[in-house]
Amino acid sequence: MNTYLTRAVALAGSAALLLVAACSAGSGTSSGPSTGANQSLAIGLVAEPASLDFTTTDGAAIPQALLTNVYEGLVKQDESGKIVPDLAKSWTVSADRKTYTFELVDNAKFTNGAAFTAADAVFSINRVKTAWTTSLKAAMDVVQDAKAVSPKQLQVTLSKPSNDWLFRMTTRIGAMFSQTGVDKLATDPVGTGPYKFGSWKRGDSIVLQRNDAYWGTKPFFNQVTLKYFKDPTALNNALLTGTINVIGTVQAPEALSQFTSNTKYQVIEGTTNGEVVLSFNNSRPVFKDVRVRQAIRSAIDHKALLDTCFAGRGKLIGSMVPPTDPWYEDLTQVAPYSKDKAKSLLAAAGATGKTLRLRLPTLPYATSCGQVVKSQLEQVGLKVQIDQLEFPAAWLTTVFKNADYDMSIIAHVEPRDLGAVFSPKYYTRYDDPTLQQDLAAADAGDEATQVTDMKKAARRISEEAAADWLFLLPNLVVADKNITGLPANAITESFDLSKLARS
Amino acid sequence: MVLRLVERTAVLLVSLAVSSVLVFGFMAVLPGDPARVALGVNASDEAVAQLREQFGLDRSLATQYFDWLGGLLHADFGTSYVSKVAIGPQIFDRLQVTLWLVVVGMIVALVVAVPAGTVMAARHRKISGLALSAISQLGVAVPAFLAGILLIMLFAVKLGWLPANGWTPPASDPGMFLRQLILPALSLGLVQGAVLTRYVRSAVLDVLREDYLRTARAKGLRPFPALWRHGLRNAAVPVVTVLGLQLATLLIGAVVVERVFVIPGLGSLLLDGVSNRDLLLVQDVVMLLVVAVLVVNFLVDVLYVALDPRLRVGQR
Amino acid sequence: MNDEGGSVSRGAESALGVPASDPAGRLDGPAVRRTAGRRLNPSLVVGGIIVLVIVLTALVSFVWTPYDATLVDPAVRLAKPSWSHWFGTDKFGRDLLSQIMVGSRTTLFVGLVAVGVAAVIGVPLGILAAMTRRWSSELIMRANDLLLAFPALLLAIMFGAVFGASTLTAMVAIGIATVPSFARVIRSGALQVMRTEYVLAARAAGRRPFPIALRHVLPNVTSLITVQASVSFAIAVLAEAALSFLGYGTPPPTPSWGRMLQESQEFLFSAPRLAVFPGVAIAIAVLGFNLLGDGLRDRFDPKLEDRR
């Protein structure tokens, strides 16, 4: 439980969340992938990984490229958020909810030739505790013992019941590694997935090749290129001129009109796990007063904000839960927009005229939304001073590590991150024993209890105004018309390339 | 002349040593713990401490400095904090890309600037000269990235003649390499060309005022032949100087064009390094650059002597 | 960044090469008297007018703009140019004309800081290098060359990382990177002055170096300083735009032409005017300062006028 809380949350870098695949050079005017004309695909993404080893390097870009595609877990999340089999055909949970028994698939093989067995699963689970260095590894602390009952049966015993553990097994933490394939994780990943790692041109692209020995349904494309763009306009131009087939993450929603009005392209809009949070430093005296926090939530016209800073794309949410989680409720009316209410709350708290420092990371959405937030808060009598901090380095140190800020704006893109974000140890410095109780009960109980308790927790932070939720980042994907299999919602850490095809 | 060469070499060596201290010192004061940034948001404190140790960041600055310098002298650039791969090959890769861009860009610039600048100077008061002056003034005034964006909008997006961005190594697909090189080289070259034109113009103007040229004109030679025979060689001295320095500074200065055209060059590598706090990599790239500028400076000095006989005696 | 302080330096030196003949007559008297009655120089006039307009715009923006330049008003976002918003509005519903007006202050600030830093360090260095003994002069000029090896863009990014991104830090960095060009030009000018008869006379009379520098050298290199300042000003404005494009420029919400241009990128197809106005403003400002520099140079350097 505690491990869950201490786990930090991945922050959206350049909003790295969404990926999409693209197809081969369709348009003929320009390049496209150079091999296998009809079988290859090029996808434009925004954040390039710094390394390929997500056991020691953080960053959403690595699992985005590799998870589900190169690495697989025992279980995965389907598009509706349900946990479904992957390398485990099935599993059972004991009555005390502490022992999980997984039946593994028979024919899975690593790309280094080794067969996937329960021994590899034990190795991978134990390795999280010993060799991983990102604090995500804490999700595995609850595991007391993992053993191979037979080559195809794995038993995992937890020290206490935890709903969250099985969920975390769908993330990178649950990736299955080969006992003989972890020497060069940073440059040469080895997994069981439908694709194998091909090559990496640093600063440019990663190429994945179809794994012809894959145990499941083999993917349509024999080669997928993940091409990385720093500049959103360059990304758009690449699709317009046929250099890529899919824009995985639209960074410039205002520019979408050039695609929606063109019949050559399809635009997909769904939801993500990326809550854009206006975070408060709850350890600052001014934010200890709940009225100030509530006043800020009431002062923000979320609809106008979304229209202004993200072209109206995305979804308004009233708490830290995306619509794809089982305990989602529409909480946008907990703090409806009202300047008068905001003013009177501020007056009652004696905070009118106070100056707040809004320290923004240098990310486009944060810069945009920050200016709207400033303007709206100033209309109810607060003063807002905007500072920009270079992302990631300066922002991480100043805001995230040292909590030297009053307010900030960042997208928290990790799945089910409510508990992690609103913890006294996190940069929000949100210390609320009631919330902790609800979360603990949710983790230990059965599925129905989990939903009830998580709903309570979500309502609690919304009513207490632990932060303000500006909006949920949309999954915005643009692709050539003939690409199929693109997911509407992007709710996992990976971009699943296996279902993509060209019609 | 030999003495001068020895003296220059000594200066070069001292400059290199001083600049290495400067570069290293600057990295040492950068805020943001490289180990923490390398490990990211989810890093645990123990892991950060461990990584610091692994990269030797816990050692004294002096030790780190001499370690780094020693490595460089053996062409060992070290291992990146972030990607954990050797830095040398990465820099070399990116340098190749940027060199293509910069060299072709400079050729474009020269092709534009030398005739334009000469005409501007020779026809200093005529309509043609003034018109060229006006055009070059406009060229200088346009930010390079804007020029790039406009070229993309026109030739790639609207007309579809050329790819909007990307990079293909010449060896793997020469045709695509050329097609992708045209627009970035043009946007770099045209803007640089406009800058260079002004130097060519003033260099030629200076030459036109020299007595020997007046004499040549007095003997009845028309302005262009006179220039051609006697002047261009002398006008070349300041132009070569500017060119050399532009070449060296453009290794990083091209970053804007690299960004617009999504070219994985040296400038992009450096920017990524700075934001990831991949300090060793930044240190190496900056040092390489400083070495490049200083060496170009040195070569230009030597070239001065070769191009301009009057300088051989040493005016300084 | 299409030009670095470095590339200007030596080129500018040659362009500004002070004539060895009769420097007293040229450098002694005030420029105004010397050139009085000469034909008006078009570069100077046009450049001067542009710069004047920018300065006036900046001054006016302190007391009046059509709207508050930072006022976010989603109701009128992306409005087309009209009588109420002459240049239209941006995605925040901010009035573009007001932003351009206030942005001119940023542009002037950018130039003044960069040029100020460069001149305050570069001019004394240049004079010192001209007036001191060979070895110390050599030392200064070598240190100068060393500084030249650090590209302006690099310095700006590093300064931003160390001191936090702001217009001031970026421009101090650009200024420092411009020091070498000032020092070189001033040194070369000062060397000429040092050879003039009245300086030789002053030295022979036992005047101390500092008064000589202040009374004779500095006044006679002001024309060079002005020309160099004008050109460096233009470079600083371009540098701010390039830094903004890379995300190291003026942070919001302060209006800045460079950032406006950068933010306009996603509207290039739907609302190109968002790029046109700041783009043209930058180009005009750079053009203005460059023309002013050229004009001043031609005016101060009569060779160009007298030629042929």
pLDDT at residue number B41: 60
Tokens of C64: 């009046």
Residue C9 has pLDDT above 60, yes or no: no
CA distance B176 to chain C (A): 26
- Chain-chain contact of B268 with A401 (C-beta, under 8 angstroms): no
Contact A397 B32 (CB under 8 A): yes
* Closest residue, chain B, to A33 (C-alpha): B168
Q: Which among B273, B266, B265, B287 has a CA at the least distance from the CA of B77?
A: B287
Contact C246/A at CB under 8 A: no
Say which residue the tokens 């809550």 belong to. A275
With vertex at residue B81, the alpha carbon angle to CA B76 and CA B87, rounded to the nearest 5 degrees, is 30
What value does the mean pLDDT take over residues A287-311? Answer: 93
Cβ-defined contact of B195 to C17 (cutoff 8 Å): no
In C, residues 155-184, which contact A (CB 8 Å cutoff)? 160-161, 164-165
Nearest to A414 by CA among A133, A213, A19, A136: A136
Pick among B262, B270, B278 to test the A interface (most A CBs inside 10 A):
B262
Cis peptide before B184 (omega within 30 of 0): no
**Closest Cα partner for A133 from A39, A57, A232?**
A57
Tell me the backbone φ, ψ of residue A187, rounded to 5 degrees. -125, -15
Average pLDDT over residues C261-288: 86
**Mean pLDDT score, B48-68:** 81
Rounded to whole angstroms, the Cα distance separating A378 from A395 reads: 24
Q: What are phi and psi of C93, to 5 degrees?
A: 75, 15
The angle that helices C152-163 and C218-246 make with each other, rounded to 10 degrees, is 70
Q: Return the residue of C nearest to B28 by Cα.
A: C162
- Note whether C247 contacts A: Cβ–Cβ < 8 A: yes
Would you call B157 and A391 a contact, using CB atoms and an 8 Å cutoff?
A: no
Q: A7: which chain B residues are within 8 Å (Cβ-Cβ)? A: 42
Angle (CA) A190-A191-A196 rounded to 5° is 75
Query: Residue A155 phi/psi, 5° resolution?
Result: -120, 130
C-alpha of B88 from chain center = 19
Domain ranges of chain B: 10-73, 87-275
- Closest residue, chain A, to B47 (C-alpha): A133
Q: Which of B31, B42, B84 sits opposite A136 (nearest CB)?
A: B42
Helix-strand-coil split of chain A, %, nearest 5 = 30, 25, 45
**Minimal Cα distance from B90: which residue of A?**
A202
Residues 6+ apart with CB under 8 A from C77: A307, A308, C89, C90, C91, C92, C93
B211 contact residues in C (CB cutoff 8 A):
none
Radius of gyration of chain A (CA): 23
> Nearest Cβ partner of A258 from C160, C247, C269?
C269
Ordered alpha helix ranges (H), A241-363: 257-260, 285-288, 290-299, 302-310, 339-349
Mean pLDDT across chain A: 86
Interface ipTM: 0.78
What confidence tens digit (pLDDT) does each residue in B148-163 have?
Answer: 888 888 888 888 888 8
pLDDT digits (tens, 9 = 90+) for A358-389: 999 888 889 889 999 998 999 999 999 998 88
Phi, psi of A433, deg, nearest 5? -60, -35
Tally the C-alpha atoms within 13 A of residue A286's C-alpha that lie toward its C-beta: 19
Q: What is the pLDDT of residue C181?
A: 83
Q: Looking at the complex, does the CB of residue A184 fall below 8 Å from at least one CB of chain B?
A: no
State how beta strands A40-45 and A246-247 pair.
Answer: parallel
Alpha-carbon A405 to chain mean position: 24
Alpha-carbon dihedral angle through residues C204, C205, C211, C213, given to the nearest 10 degrees: -20
Which residues, 6+ apart, have CB-to-CB distance to C84 below 8 Å?
none
Q: Is the pLDDT of residue C305 over 60?
A: no
Q: Which pairs count as long-range contacts for C258-261, CB under 8 Å and 24+ apart, including other chains?
A: C258/B143, C258/C282, C260/C90, C260/C96, C260/C99, C260/C100, C260/C103, C261/B143, C261/B146
Residues of A in contact with B265 (CB under 8 A): 203
Task: Report helix, strand or coil for A98.
Answer: coil
Query: What are the φ/ψ torsions at residue A271 (nearest 5 degrees)?
Result: -110, 170
> Does the pLDDT at position B228 exceed 70?
no
pLDDT band of residue B211 (cuts 50, 70, 90) is low
Distance between A118 CA and the closest CA of chain B, angstroms: 28
In this predicted structure, the answer to whether residue A197 has a pLDDT above a threshold of 90 is yes
pLDDT over 70 at B12, yes or no: yes
Q: What is the number of helices (H) and of strands (E) in chain C?
A: 14, 0
pLDDT band at C38 (very low <50, low <70, confident <90, very high): low
Residue C131 in 3-state DSSP? helix
**Residue C122 amino acid letter:** G
- Nearest beta carbon to residue A234 from set B83, B262, B277: B262
CB–CB contact B173 A234 (8 Å): no
The residues that bridge with A205 in the sheet, in sequence order, are A201, A227
Quickly count: other Cβ atoms within 10 Å of residue A262's Cβ: 12
CA-nearest residue to A204 within chain B is B264
Average pLDDT, rounded, for chain C: 76
B143 → closest Cβ in C13, C242, C290 = C242
Token pair of A487, please? 């997911």
Residue closest to C103 by CA, chosen among C247, C250, C212: C250
Q: What is the pLDDT of residue C79?
A: 81
Check residue A58 and give its pLDDT: 77
Cβ contacts of A186 on chain B, cutoff 8 Å: 83-85
Q: Give which of C95, C246, C265, C274 to mutate to test A binding, by max A Cβ within 10 Å.
A: C265
Q: Go through C229-245 and write b for each residue having 16 or more CB atoms within 10 A of its CB, e for each that does not.
A: bbbbbbbbbbbbbbbbb
Question: CA–CA separation, A201 vs A36, rounded Å?
Answer: 19
Residue pair A364/C60 in contact by the 8 Å Cβ criterion: no
Mean local confidence (pLDDT), A30-46: 65
Closest-CA residue in chain C for A393? Answer: C161
Asked if the C-beta of A371 comes within 8 angstroms of chain C's C-beta atoms, the answer is: yes
pLDDT exceeds 90 at position A245 = yes
**Of the ranges A68-72, A362-366, B121-125, C92-96, which one carries the lowest mean pLDDT score?**
B121-125
Phi/psi at A74 (nearest 5 deg)?
-70, -40
Instruction: Report residue A23: phi and psi, to 5°.
Output: -105, -175
Work out the pLDDT band at A344, boundaries 50, 70, 90: very high
**Percentage of chain B exceeding pLDDT 90:** 1
Lowest average pLDDT, out of A18-22, A366-370, C184-188, goes to A18-22
User: Is B180 in Cβ contact with A31 (below 8 Å)?
Assistant: yes
Contact A396 B261 (CB under 8 A): no
Tokens of C303: 């060779």
pLDDT of residue C143: 83
Test C269 with A307 for CB contact under 8 angstroms: no
Contact C7 B271 (CB under 8 A): no
**Residues of chain A found within 8 Å of residue C268, distances taken between Cβ atoms:** 233, 255
> Under an 8 A CB cutoff, do C92 and A371 touch?
yes
Q: What percent of chain A has pLDDT over 70?
A: 92
Contacts of A297 (CB under 8 A, 6+ apart): A335, A465, A468
- Distance from the Cα of A151 to chain C's closest Cα (Å) equals 53
Query: In this predicted structure, what is the pLDDT of residue A289?
Result: 93
Residue C3 has pLDDT above 50, yes or no: no
d(C-alpha A41, C-alpha A482), whole Å: 12
Report cis status (omega within 30 of 0) of the bond before C23. Answer: no
Spatial separation of the C-alpha atoms in residues A461 and A442, rounded to whole Å = 15
Distance CA B55, CA B84 (A): 10
Helix or strand or coil: residue B265?
coil
Contact flag A376-C269 (C-beta cutoff 8 Å): no
Are A465 and A290 in contact by the 8 Å Cβ rule? The answer is yes
Q: Are B202 and B122 in contact (CB under 8 A)?
A: no
Chain C closest CA to A388's CA: distance in Å?
6
CA atoms of B293 and A266, how far apart (whole Å): 49
User: A230: Cβ–Cβ under 8 A, 6 or more apart, which residues?
Assistant: A14, A46, B259, B262, B268
B179 to A30, A116, A237, B121, C280: CA distances (angstroms): 9, 46, 16, 34, 29
> How far apart are the C-alpha atoms of A269 and A314, rounded to whole Å?
8
Q: By mean pLDDT, which of A155-169, C48-62, C208-222 is the weakest?
A: C208-222
Helix axes C218-246, C167-194, angle to 10 degrees: 150
Task: Count Cβ atoms within 10 A of the Cβ of residue C30 and give its class: 0-12 exposed, 13-18 middle, 19 or more buried.
Answer: exposed
Q: What is the DSSP letter of C266?
A: G
Strands of the sheet containing A99-104, edge to edge, are A88-93, A99-104, A153-158, A143-150
A490's tokens: 């992007």
Q: Which of B18, B191, B289 lies nearest to residue C146, judging by beta carbons? A: B18
> Cα–Cα distance between C273 and C87 in angstroms, integer?
8
A 10 A CB-CB count for C106 gives 23
Which among A180, A208, A178 is positioned nearest to A191, based on CA atoms?
A178
Q: What subunits touch chain A, counting only 3 or more CB pairs under 8 A?
A: B, C
Full set of structural domains in chain C with CATH: 41-60+86-307 (1.10.3720.10)
Task: Give C160's contacts in chain A (Cβ within 8 Å).
Answer: 390
With bands split at pLDDT 50, 70 and 90, how would you rate the model's confidence at C304? very low
Q: Nearest residue on chain A to C268, judged by CA atoms?
A: A255
3-state SS, one letter per residue, for A432-459:
CHHHHHHHHHHHHCCHHHHHHHHHHHHH
Q: Which residues of B touch C245 (CB under 8 A)?
A: 143, 145, 256, 259
Most B-contacting residue of A6, A31, A183 (CB-CB within 10 A), to test interface: A31
CB contacts, 8 Å: B145 with chain C:
241-242, 245
CA distance A240 to chain B (A): 7
The more confidently predicted of residues C269 and A413 is A413
Q: Is residue A66 pLDDT above 70, yes or no? A: yes
pLDDT of residue A31 exceeding 60? no
Task: Nearest chain A residue to B273 by CA: give it.
Answer: A50
Q: Which two tokens stand for residue B33?
A: 């713990």
User: For B87-275, which CATH superfamily applies?
Assistant: MetI-like (1.10.3720.10)
Confidence of residue C29 (pLDDT cuts 50, 70, 90): very low
Q: Cβ contacts (< 8 Å) between A247 and chain B: which residues? A: none
